[in-house]
Amino acid sequence: MQGLFVPQFSAFKKNNEVDFAATKAHGEYLVSQGVSGLVPFGTFGEGSSLSLRERIRVTEDLASIIQDRALIPCIISNSLGDIWEYLAFVADLPVQAVMVIPPSYFRPIDNESLITFYKAVAEKSKHPIVAYNIPSTSLKIDVEVATQIPIWGVKDSSGNFDSALDFIKHGVNILLGSDNLLAKGIAAGAKGGICGLANFFPAQMVKIYQLASSGNAENIVAAQDIVDKIYKAVDSIVKPGFNGVQSIGALKNASRHFIPVNVGDMRSPLPTYRSSEDEISAMIEHAKAVYAI
């Protein structure tokens, strides 16, 4: 499991219903741009806002258009029963893996309990499991846990480069969830990335992966240069001090200027941050340098 994967947006209508057609069309667009695969229902996809039935419908739609790329659905749920039901549903579908976040409603959870949880998940799955490490919204997955559970590896969205290096050093497969760490993380041995900004810049994020995975020093510098250009565009609307929800809300609001599919707003109660016209214009201007790559 290597490459650049996209935690694609889930599309919603103005009445908060899932826009299944738009979600499928956005997936088709991303596949056409050469990404390695799709990861629906992650943080960018507002996976915690979708019901089991809605996730099933979207999974079926994406499985029909994925072609030869990977489909790695994410499960964000506090219910082991809900997780088991979804795993039973995808058992015979062509998904490459399933990404599972630790339940986070009850805290703290000790490492022994997390190990027991992931073993219970893996026992019910016919597909490899990717553990989702995003301490800002869930529970931290320590190396101690990752090395004792039957998983393929970890998506590390800690935002901490030392965290990724620690997993790699202990032989844990890593997919980076922090876009700004993509180039140097791959150069350090990560298998790839699951990067939200690929919703906007799919071909360019693929190029970052290709350059950084070459092992050539000049290519790694070139990959980081693309990362820096992307962040210069994004920083026009994602302001210092924004939390994750505000950042994704601002990006989703701006997406209509960059993505050929209208994915709508965030689903209630999540806010959709409305950037000013000047901020959007600045992002569009900086993005020209990215799309020219």
Q: What is the DSSP string of 9-75?
A: PPPB-TTS-B-HHHHHHHHHHHHHTT-SEE-TTSTTTTGGGS-HHHHHHHHHHHHTT-TTSEE--EE
Rounded Cα–Cα distance for residues 95 and 66 (Å): 9
The overall average pLDDT reported for the chain is 96
DSSP character for 258? T
Structural domain boundaries in the chain: 3-214
Mean of pLDDT values over 4-19: 98
Lowest-pLDDT range, 103-107, 150-154, 224-228, 272-276? 103-107
Res. 140: pLDDT tops 90: yes
Res. 120: pLDDT tops 90: yes
| Residue 149: closest CA among 115, 120, 175 | 115
Identity of residue 143: V
Tell me, what's the pLDDT at 170? 97
Rounded Cα–Cα distance for residues 209 and 193 (Å): 8
Tell me, what's the pLDDT at 184? 95
Identity of residue 12: F
Rounded Cα–Cα distance for residues 151 and 133 (Å): 13
In 25-49, which positions are buried (b, 16+ CB within 10 angstroms) versus exposed (e)? bbbbbbbebebbbbbbbbbbbbbbb
Summarize pLDDT for 25-69 with one digit per residue, the tens: 999 999 999 999 999 999 999 999 999 999 999 999 999 999 999
pLDDT band per the 50, 70, 90 thresholds, residue 107:
confident
Summarize pLDDT for 72-92 with one digit per residue, the tens: 999 999 999 999 999 999 999
DSSP element (H, E) containing 173: strand 173-176
Identity of residue 264: G
Helix, strand, coil % in the chain, rounded to nearest 5: 45, 10, 45
* CATH number given to 3-214: 3.20.20.70
- CA distances from residue 225 to 5, 59, 181, 217, 293 in whole angstroms, order as listed: 20, 35, 12, 13, 10
Summarize pLDDT for 189-201 with one digit per residue, the tens: 999 999 999 999 9
Res. 108: pLDDT tops 90: no
Tell me, what's the pLDDT at 29? 98
